[in-house]
Amino acid sequence: MAREYDLKPAPSLGGDETAYGAGKVINRRQFLKYGFNTATGVLAASLGVLGFTALIMPPDTEGTGGEGTIQFWAKGREDEAWYGAKHEVNMTRQDFVDEAAKSSTGTAGAAGIWNGVPVIVVYVDHEKNKDTPVSLGKARFQMMEGYDETGKRIGHFEDMSDVDPRIFPSDNIVIIYGRCTHLCCIPGWQLVSNSFTDDSWTPGGGDDGGTKLFCICHSSRFDPTALEMNSNRNRSSGATFSYAGIKASGGPAPVGLPIIPVLMDGDVITGITDYVDWLTYCD
């Protein structure tokens, strides 16, 4: 049974806080100006729940050969998460296949730690479902147009995956960087029970249907099946960069979460470290 938490309202900083539109109460300039203290406070609350406190650090790409295994992370949820008994054990594809078989949507997700950063790994039965009529509502990956925080179109997911096909989820698995684009809390897989985290799926990357990653801090939702081009800013320099990611479907998060390309090592899931610009939007 998933835990239930009281959601906090997003912090209001006054001034031009409506720049992101309805329901988005902090803009990027304010984030850069106030983000450190605000995000640290919110982050601490989130980490307290998830027990990631000592683990946030830049990816250690040295000595990994450009890859890195992922360990399940279930600290504090050992008795309730399906992977509770696998805490700090390397993730394998079979773990997810077995769990997804219990799901009506053919999906399963878990929190993990990859090169010192939090990730969420989601299995989607894409190969089985991709050729079924969408009207049947069978979960599959969808490649979509992407937009920046102002709503301006910035490109299509295929613009990136055509250049580097490794970006497309491999073996039905997508690895997602686990820091919210709102204020850097750590979204989770079925950490809470609500309509957004139900075992249900609706095509289009919208906010209806379940199977969302849900950020407990201010209720942002992300669709792990909706793949798009995203953009964000380096927190220190303000420089804009684009990345392949999943779609923000609702809540105050201005853009989606980054994808880490998958490389299977036998049955063990590893993430490729070629793309790490996104690390800079929080740290």
**Beta-carbon count within 10 A of 11 CB:** 18
Query: 117 or 253, CB closer to ligand FES?
Result: 253
Closer residue to ligand FES (CB): 96 or 222: 222
Contacts of 184 (CB under 8 A, 6+ apart): 35, 39, 42, 43, 281, 282
Q: Is the Cβ of residue 17 or residue 67 nearer to ligand FES in the bound state?
A: 17
Which is nearer to ligand FES, 30 or 220 (by Cβ)? Answer: 220
Alpha carbon distance 116, 121 (integer Å): 15
Judge whether 95 and 189 are in contact, CB under 8 Å.
Answer: no
Q: Residue 31 or residue 147: which is nearer to ligand FES going by CB?
A: 31
Q: Measured from the CB of residue 39, what is the shortest distance to ligand FES in angstroms?
A: 8
Q: Least distance from C-beta 216 to ligand FES, angstroms?
A: 8
Shortest reach from residue 186's CB to ligand FES, in Å: 8
Distance CA 47, CA 43 (A): 6
- Residue-wise burial string across 40-63, b where 16 or more C-beta atoms lie within 10 A, e elsewhere: eebbeebbebbebeeebeebeeee
Q: Which residues bind ligand FES (CB under 6 A)?
A: 42, 180, 182-183, 185, 215, 217-218, 220, 251-253
Q: Please, what's the b/e burial string for 203-215 (b: 16 or more CB within 10 A of its CB; e: otherwise)?
A: bebebebbbbbbb
Minimum Å gap between C-beta 207 and ligand FES is 14
Comparing CA positions, the residue from 19, 13, 23 lying closest to residue 218 is 23
Rank residues 77 and 182 by Cβ distance to ligand FES and give the closer one: 182
In whole angstroms, the minimum distance from the beta carbon of 41 to ligand FES comes to 11
Beta carbons within 10 angstroms of residue 234's beta carbon: 15
Residue 45 and residue 51: Cα distance in Å, rounded? 10
Q: How near is the Cβ of 70 to ligand FES at its closest, in Å?
A: 22
Task: Decide: 158 and 143 in contact? Cβ < 8 Å.
Answer: yes
Q: Which is nearer to ligand FES, 7 or 97 (CB)?
A: 7
Least distance (Å) between residue 275 CB and ligand FES: 22
260 neighbors 275 (Cβ within 8 angstroms): yes
